[in-house]
């Protein structure tokens, strides 16, 4: 029997409210939360320890922003799937994130439905 | 002079947060002009703006409003830090909207958060502020736009 292991999820956001909201709202049994980080530096340390398959990434964060962090995570694991969740709603930012290796972009604020659709798209 | 469309961008950024995050839209009261720095509520998210225009935009809300907003977001932590976090997220949304609509002519800072009833708010002498009441459920907050 072929049993698929769940994909490991890491949430990166400097807002505790947003981290908890993403954690509560995602409804995929295939995703298993392995940790949360509040900035890019913490995210890279956690990434090395937990080896996630899927990452949600805020962009505006202290110490290291999301754009730089995406580049470093992709260098560590090119197949990682990254969903940017940010209030930065301009096209130039979205393009920059995609060029660094992000796979999806969701604007804050978001509904549960929008989040789950973005996850579904990311894991397709 | 501040254009109506510019003001609308800031207002839409604020009301959009309530509509999406709390699934309950906020309404706008009658805007008015004020000389000097307006009184603020317990929690204030501030965005500094430079470039084509100079000044600040801030969202200030009472603790009671933020508590109900957190409840509507299914949050169960109502600590001081969570209140600061929430008002920062509202300011973040206003900032994101402004970047999208104004492009690179405006340089918009990462939001900062102030708390307490008499925080030190940045204000240019002689500059008037647009005050836009933001009404949600039985509570009222203020969006303050103070730009050259």
Domain ranges of chain B: 4-147
Q: In terms of residue numbers, what domain contains A93?
A: 7-123
Where residue A35 sits, what CATH number does that domain have?
A: 3.40.50.2300
**What is residue B100's predicted lDDT score, i.e. its pLDDT?**
86
Summarize pLDDT for A41-55 with one digit per residue, the tens. Answer: 999 999 999 999 999
Summarize pLDDT for A1-41 with one digit per residue, the tens. Answer: 556 678 999 999 999 999 999 998 877 788 999 999 999 99
- Spell out, as residue ranges, where chain B has pLDDT lower than 50: none
- Name the interface residues of A facing B (CB cutoff 8 Å): 15-18, 20-21, 24, 60, 86-91, 93, 107-111
Query: For chain A, how many structural domains are there in total?
Result: 1
Summarize pLDDT for B58-93 with one digit per residue, the tens. Answer: 999 999 999 999 999 999 999 999 999 999 999 989
In CATH, the architecture of B4-147 is 3-Layer(aba) Sandwich (3.40)
Residue numbers in A near B17 (CB within 8 A):
109
DSSP SS3 for A89:
coil
Look up residue A56 and give its two tokens: 């949600």
B96 touches chain A (CB under 8 A): yes
How high is the ipTM of this complex?
A: 0.87
**What is residue B42's predicted lDDT score, i.e. its pLDDT?**
94
- Is B118:A49 a contact under the CB 8 Å cutoff? no
């Amino acid at each position: 029997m072929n049993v698929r292991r769940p994909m490991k999820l890491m949430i990166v956001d400097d807002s505790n409210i947003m981290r908890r909201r993403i954690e509560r709202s995602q409804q995929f049994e295939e995703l298993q939360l392995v940790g949360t980080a509040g900035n890019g530096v913490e995210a890279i340390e956690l990434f090395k320890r937990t080896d996630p398959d899927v990452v949600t990434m805020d962009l505006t964060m202290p110490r290291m922003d999301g754009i730089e962090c995406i580049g470093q995570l992709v260098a560590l694991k090119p197949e990682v799937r990254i969903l940017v969740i940010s209030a930065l709603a301009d096209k130039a930012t979205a393009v920059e994130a995609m060029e660094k290796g992000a796979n999806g972009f969701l604007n804050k604020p978001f509904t549960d439905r929008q989040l789950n659709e973005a996850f579904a798209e990311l894991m397709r | 002079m501040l254009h109506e469309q510019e003001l609308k961008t800031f207002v839409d950024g604020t009301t959009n947060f309530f509509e999406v995050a709390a699934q309950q839209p906020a309404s706008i009261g009658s805007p008015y002009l004020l000389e000097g720095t307006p009184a603020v509520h317990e929690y204030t998210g501030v965005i500094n703006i430079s470039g084509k225009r100079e000044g600040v935009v801030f969202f200030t809300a009472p603790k009671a409003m933020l508590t109900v907003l957190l409840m509507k977001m299914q949050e169960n932590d109502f600590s001081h830090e969570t209140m600061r976090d929430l008002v920062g997220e509202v300011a973040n949304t206003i900032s994101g909207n402004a970047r999208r609509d104004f492009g690179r002519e405006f340089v918009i800072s990462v939001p900062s958060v102030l708390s307490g009833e008499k925080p030190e708010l940045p204000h240019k002498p002689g500059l008037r502020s647009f005050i836009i009441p933001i009404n949600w459920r039985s509570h009222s907050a203020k969006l303050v736009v103070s730009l050259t």
